[in-house]
């Protein structure tokens, strides 16, 4: 019974590929609300056809958000799928780069990130219904439209839904090797500004305080904060300073991208950056923190959750591996709330946000079988 689940899903690979092509054909660039809403309409119809009760949350700047529920009154906390419909590709990309299949991989804009994840979610529900194995537990799907622009419109709802959930399944792609993501780094962005005093570079250089030189000192210090061995990176990514060639500059700024594995490491670096002191007499250093994501930590809860997925995989004849990512996802939000989160539950593929973006087709039925088994077997 359990083993034939995988075979059953593999026999339906063509159906999954057709669904993936259909979803890609609805181009859905994050900031193109009209285009994204066309896919939202399509999704709402598909979710309802699969037996869900669907609530729609209107949005002004981005596509509307959907919350679908199966078995809302069944006992226990829901298992919640997190998917996003938006992509980084403007309408018209598909005409330039049509869908193609080569060597068992499907290429197309948004294919791996994350139309394939949406395909897997819809196919999992369908398979469980067809087989009469739909578990008697609440299953939810939060369908957002702004993940690629930092989830700033959906974050409130993500938090609200996650707070009620027992497990979040983030349908972002697996690693290129097919592993789940049991850690994701936290991200913090800073702007370090230096302020000096302007003066004519020829007439009175001694009267100036050079903000660019001050910034150079700070950049070296920032660079010394790197601790790559422990997963902390501090990268100065952009600098600006001065405005005229013959004037000692009175202002300069550096943009800093910081990544870290634990909230504690993030706090340490934040304190160090905010504590930067000026080197030149009379200069000032002003630090401003920008957006950030807390890390998805490979903590005890994560280790237990992964061990359970591995056992469930074994029960249907699939080996499940784990790895991590330096990039963030909505899983960073849910995990930081203490909600058990499994990330990288989407397809295997390559080239997120790149022109060679592709999906390994054989990973579609495998993930459908794994998640179908998980929905049946998961113990909170
Ligand atoms: Zn994504």
208-239: pLDDT as tens digits: 999 999 999 999 999 999 999 999 999 999 99
Ligand 1 midpoint to CA 270 (Å): 27
Span 118-141, pLDDT tens digits: 999 999 999 999 999 999 999 999
Cα 84 to ligand 1 centre (Å): 7
Give the chain's end-to-end CA distance (angstroms, integer). 23
Alpha carbon of 162 to ligand 1 centroid (Å)? 18
Residue 1: which of 371, 294, 369 has the closest Cα? 369
Task: Give the pLDDT of residue 1.
Answer: 53
Q: How many angstroms separate the most distant Cα atoms in the chain?
A: 87
Lowest mean pLDDT among 187-191, 287-291, 315-319: 287-291
Residue found by looking up tokens 């237990």 in the block:
304
- What is the rounded CA–CA span in Å between residue 175 and residue 172? 9
pLDDT tops 80 at residue 380:
yes
Q: What is the mean pLDDT of residues 366-370?
A: 98
Distance 128 CA to ligand 1 centre (A): 25
Q: Is the dihedral of CA 41, 43, 44, 45 positive or negative?
A: positive
Domains and CATH numbers, the chain: 2-184+295-377 (3.40.630.10), 186-293 (3.30.70.360)
Confidence of residue 3 (pLDDT cuts 50, 70, 90): low
- How far does the centroid of ligand 1 lie from the alpha carbon of residue 164, in Å? 23
- Give distance in angstroms: CA of 82 to centre of ligand 1: 10
From CA 223, how far away is CA 236, in angstroms rounded?
7
| Residue 143, φ and ψ in degrees, nearest 5 | -110, 105
Q: What span, in angstroms and rounded, lies between the C-alpha atoms of 325 and 86?
A: 20
Position 291 scores a pLDDT of 72
CA of 316 to the centre of ligand 1 (A): 27
| Cα of 144 from ligand 1 centre, angstroms | 11
Question: What's the CA-to-centroid distance between 86 and ligand 1, angstroms?
Answer: 8
**How far away, in angstroms, is 56 Cα from ligand 1 center?**
21
**pLDDT-based confidence at residue 2 (cuts at 50, 70, 90):** low
Q: What does the pLDDT average to over 181-204?
A: 96
Whole-number Å distance, alpha carbon 147 to ligand 1 midpoint, is 7
CA of 348 to the centre of ligand 1 (A): 13
Q: Residue 75 Cα, ligand 1 centroid: separation in angstroms?
A: 31
- How many Å lie between the centroid of ligand 1 and the Cα of residue 196? 42
Neighbours of 280 (CB within 10 A): 16
The CA distance from 93 to 13, in Å, is 26
Give the model's pLDDT for residue 256. 98
Which pLDDT score is estimated for 292? Answer: 81
CA of 11 to the centre of ligand 1 (A): 27
Go through the chain and tell me how many residues it has.
380
pLDDT of residue 293: 86
Task: Quote the ligand 1 centre to 140 CA distance (angstroms).
Answer: 19
Ligand 1 centre to CA of 219 (Å) is 32
Average pLDDT over residues 10-14: 98
The predicted model gives 41-46 an average pLDDT of 98
Distance, CA 85 to ligand 1 centroid (Å)?
A: 8
Residues 296-318, mean pLDDT to the nearest whole number? 96
Distances (CA, A) of 299 to 159, 325, 341: 20, 15, 11
pLDDT for the residue 140 = 98
At 337-356, the pLDDT tens digits run 999 999 999 999 999 899 99
How many whole angstroms from 100 Cα to the centroid of ligand 1? 21
Averaged pLDDT, 309-335:
95
The mean of the pLDDT values for the chain is 96
For residues 65 and 37, give the distance between their C-alpha atoms in angstroms, rounded to a whole number.
9
pLDDT band for position 290 (50/70/90)?
A: confident
- Measure the CA–CA gap between 130 and 30, rounded to whole angstroms: 33
Q: Which residues surround ligand 1, an ion (CB under 5 A)?
A: 113-114, 172
The model scores a pTM over 0.75:
yes
Range 258-287 average pLDDT: 96
pLDDT, tens only, 72-107: 999 999 999 999 999 999 999 999 999 999 999 999
The CA distance from 32 to 282, in Å, is 48
Q: If you measure from the C-alpha of residue 267 to the centroid of ligand 1, how many angstroms do you get, rounded to a whole number?
A: 26
Residues 271-291, mean pLDDT to the nearest whole number: 95
Output the CA 60–ligand 1 centroid distance in Å.
21
The pLDDT assigned to 168 comes to 98
**CB of 183 closer than 8 Å to CB of 100:** no
């Amino acid at each position: 019974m359990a083993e034939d689940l995988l075979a059953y899903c593999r026999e339906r690979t063509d159906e999954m590929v057709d669904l993936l092509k259909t979803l890609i054909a609805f181009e859905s660039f994050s900031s193109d609300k009209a285009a994204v809403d066309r896919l939202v309409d399509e999704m709402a119809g598909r979710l309802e056809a699969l037996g869900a009760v669907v609530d729609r949350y209107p949005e002004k700047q981005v596509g509307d958000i959907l919350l679908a529920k199966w078995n809302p009154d069944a006992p226990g906390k829901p298992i919640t799928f997190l998917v996003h419909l938006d992509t980084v590709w403007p309408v018209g990309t598909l005409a330039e780069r049509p869908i193609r299949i080569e060597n068992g991989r499907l290429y197309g804009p948004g294919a791996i990130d994350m139309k394939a994840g949406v395909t897997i979610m819809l196919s999992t529900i369908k398979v469980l219904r067809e087989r009469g194995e739909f578990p008697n537990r609440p299953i939810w799907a939060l369908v957002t439209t702004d993940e690629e622009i930092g989830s700033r419109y959906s974050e409130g709802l993500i938090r609200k839904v996650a707070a009620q959930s027992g497990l979040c399944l983030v349908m972002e792609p697996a690693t290129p090797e097919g592993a789940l993501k049991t850690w994701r780094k936290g991200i913090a962005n800073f702007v370090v500004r230096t302020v000096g005093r302007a003066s004519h570079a020829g007439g009175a250089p001694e009267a100036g305080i050079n903000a660019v030189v001050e910034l150079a000192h700070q950049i070296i210090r920032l660079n010394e904060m790197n601790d790559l061995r422990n997963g902390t990176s501090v990268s100065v990514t952009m600098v600006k300073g001065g405005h005229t060639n013959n004037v000692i500059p009175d202002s300069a700024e550096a943009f800093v991208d910081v990544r870290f594995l634990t909230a504690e490491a993030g706090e340490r670096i934040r304190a160090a950056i905010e504590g930067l002191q000026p080197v030149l007499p009379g200069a000032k250093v002003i630090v401003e923190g920008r957006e950030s994501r807390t890390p998805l930590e490979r903590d005890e809860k994560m280790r237990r959750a992964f061990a359970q997925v591995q056992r469930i995989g074994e029960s249907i004849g699939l080996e499940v591996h784990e790895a991590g990512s330096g990039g963030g996802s909505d899983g960073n939000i849910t995990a930081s709330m203490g909600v058990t989160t499994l990330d990288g539950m989407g397809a295997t593929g390559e080239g997120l946000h790149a022109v060679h973006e592709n999906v390994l087709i054989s990973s579609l039925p495998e993930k459908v079988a794994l998640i179908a088994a998980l929905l049946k077997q998961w113990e909170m």
